[in-house]
Amino acid sequence: ATPMAVMVGTGLGATHGILFKNAGALEDATKLDVIVFDKTGTLTMGQPRVVEVVAAAGRTEDEVLWTAAAVERGSDHPLALAIVERAEGFDVPETRAFLNLEGKGARAEIEGETVFLGNRRLMDEEKIELGALAEEAERLKGAGRTVVHVARGGRILGLVAIADAPRPSAKAAVTKLRERGVEVAMLTGDNEGTAKRIASELGIEIVLADVLPGQKADKVKELQAQGKRVGMVGDGVNDAPALTQADVGFAIGAGTDVAMESADVVLMRSDPYDIVGAIELSRATLRKMH
Ligand code: ADP
Ligand code: MG
């Protein structure tokens, strides 16, 4: 490897906000078979907002919203921030015994009753019957919404539907990668219905959904066990082990410090299309070296 070509390549990347941390990454980026994108904050803006609230029979939408907000005040999850923001101006009650349930949701107590909130898996684990809201939840997931289920005292109270817009260049990045012969996958802790809908909008065929934070790296390992060289793109703390496991880890610049430390390449502009730029740059650099 000629150090001169690598210097020119990394320097050129840097002027475009693509920071290769080492020469190895520049070389490895030429050989990737599949790029795995984290969904929330990577393919999407990571700025979710509440778009619909559904109340169970005999409940009100306001009650669903302030109950959810009461619990989410204890959380710094992006979905929690969206719910708290939407409940601004409501008289939100005090909670006790807040507990974050990683990859699933959260719980807390209000007036001696336990409130559980989060995904379908959490409701199933807590044996909470959704009744007529099961169909509503499916409808919302089919529209690409992330559904937060809210239950109090063992009964479903309602649903909060949250939308997170795709980053503007996400679809073009996917199209270009596939043209270049690179497979594209989505990896997310979100449910399969929501993930598949967003994936199909972006042209992504491989969807790995319902993945708990601790399992993201294992999914990368499974792809590698199939003989594939894997690039992983992520923004969150929960992506860090997968970024390390991947043959090349790419971090979104607007993401967390932990993700950026774990990555081999940092995309300063937080633009998914810069993945294409990174791969093209690495291929051009390597051609000059041989
Ligand atoms: P992602 O991989 O999309 O960043 P996480 O692993 O953080 O997701 O969470 C996975 C899923 O668990 C979320 O899509 C959501 O359904 C649920 N969840 C986690 N934390 C919360 C929370 N504080 N409030 C509501 N739902 C949550
Ligand atoms: Mg994320």
Count of alpha carbons within 13 Å of 127, Cβ hemisphere only?
A: 0
Neighbours of 212 (CB within 10 A): 13
* Domain parsing of the chain, residue ranges: 3-45+166-289, 49-163
Give me the mean pLDDT over the 21-39 stretch. Answer: 94
Distance 62 CA to ligand 2 centre (A): 29
Distance 86 CA to ligand 1 centre (A): 18
Distance 263 CA to ligand 2 centre (A): 14
Q: Name the closest-CA residue to atom 18, ligand 1.
A: 105
Top-level class of domain 3-45+166-289: alpha beta
Q: Are 157 and 71 in contact (CB under 8 A)?
A: no
**pLDDT at residue 251 above 70?**
yes
Mutate to test the pocket of ligand 1, among 65, 71, 77 (most ligand atoms within 8 A of CB): 77
Please give the pLDDT value at position 290.
Answer: 63
Would the ipTM clear 0.85, i.e. be above it? yes
Measure the CA–CA gap between 157 and 4, rounded to whole angstroms.
63
Q: Amino acid letter at 32? A: L
Give me the mean pLDDT over the 52-79 stretch. Answer: 96
Q: Per-residue confidence at 289, pLDDT binned at 50, 70, 90?
A: low
Q: Which atom number of ligand 1 is nearest to the Cα of residue 77? A: 23
Measure the CA–CA gap between 29 and 11, rounded to whole angstroms.
16
Q: Are 102 and 91 in contact (CB under 8 A)?
A: no
Q: Per-residue confidence at 221, pLDDT binned at 50, 70, 90?
A: very high
In the numeric block, the tokens 């909060």 are attached to 160
Q: Name the closest-CA residue to atom 4, ligand 1.
A: 40
- Burial of residue 267 (CB within 10 Å: 0-12, 13-18, 19+) is buried
Q: Per-residue confidence at 255, pLDDT binned at 50, 70, 90?
A: confident
Please give the pLDDT value at position 254.
Answer: 85
Please give the pLDDT value at position 260.
Answer: 92
Please give the pLDDT value at position 236.
Answer: 87
Give me the mean pLDDT over the 267-271 stretch. Answer: 93
Please give the pLDDT value at position 5.
Answer: 81
Q: Per-residue confidence at 288, pLDDT binned at 50, 70, 90?
A: confident
Give me the mean pLDDT over the 247-265 stretch. Answer: 93
Q: Which of 28, 33, 38, 264 is catalytic?
A: 38
**pLDDT at residue 217 above 60?**
yes
Give me the mean pLDDT over the 18-29 stretch. Answer: 92
**pLDDT at residue 57 above 70?**
yes
**pLDDT at residue 23 above 90?**
no
Q: Which ligand is nearest to the CA of 42?
A: 2
**pLDDT at residue 1 above 90?**
no
User: What's the CATH fold of domain 49-163?
Assistant: Calcium-transporting ATPase, cytoplasmic domain N (3.40.1110)
Please give the pLDDT value at position 7.
Answer: 83
Task: Name residues contacting ligand 1 (CB within 6 A).
Answer: 39-40, 72, 75, 77, 79-80, 103-106, 117-119, 146, 148, 188-190, 213, 236, 238
Which of 35, 11, 39 lies closest to 248 in space, CA to CA? Answer: 35
Q: Which atom number of ligand 1 is nearest to the Cα of residue 194? A: 14
Give me the mean pLDDT over the 251-261 stretch. Answer: 90
Active site (annotated) includes residue 38: yes
Measure the CA–CA gap between 223 and 254, rounded to whole angstroms.
27
More confident residue, 273 or 237: 273
Residue 157 tokens, joined:
């109270």
The percentage of the chain sitting over the pLDDT mark of 70, rounded to a whole number, equals 99
SS3 of 234, please? Answer: strand
Q: Per-residue confidence at 256, pLDDT binned at 50, 70, 90?
A: confident
Q: Per-residue confidence at 9, pLDDT binned at 50, 70, 90?
A: confident
